[in-house]
Amino acid sequence: MIAVFPAKIDHLYTMLQWICAAMKGAGVNDEVAYKVELASEEIIVNIILHGYCDYPGDIEITVNMIDSTTIEICFKDNGIAHNPLTSAQKLDRSLERVGGHGVALILSIMDSVVYERQGLNNILRVTCYQ
């Protein structure tokens, strides 16, 4: 399944609902769906805030069941070129630092996270196994 959404915070809930509906339709179990939804929220917010910096743009989201145990979500945008994996910080569980741990969280709950730049597009693929 594929859909394109405006890259605006007020569309975040709609994007997450669409991802959850696609996963439910594909038979993804609740534990995996929760992890994917959490990672997706982090990714979408990062694209909106850091990729587009409040400029207009779109986010293309694809939900694929690779096989009966593997779900892949692909996020594509044409915001500022940036590989979030190069700046991922180790997850600091202390309360001294708040924020900046979104990518570390994504890496800790997804089985695979891959970034690539294709032309003017950032593409981030996250994979989770059931």
- CB-count burial class (<10 Å; 0-12, 13-18, 19+) for 70: middle
Q: Give the pLDDT score at 91.
A: 45
- Closest to 90 measured CA to CA, from 71, 103, 81: 103
Mean pLDDT by 10 residues, the chain (130 residues): 96 98 95 96 93 92 94 96 75 50 88 96 96
The 10 Å CB-count burial string (b at 16+, else e) for 86-119 is eebeeeeeeeeeeeebbbeebbebbeebeeeeee
Query: What is the 3-state composition of the chain as percent helix, strand, coil, each rounded to the nearest 5?
Result: 40, 30, 30
CA quadruple 83, 130, 13, 9: dihedral, nearest 10: -10
Q: Give the pLDDT score at 38.
A: 96
Structural domains of the chain in order of their starting residue, each with its CATH number: 2-129 (3.30.565.10)
Q: Give the pLDDT score at 64.
A: 95
Q: Give the pLDDT score at 6.
A: 97
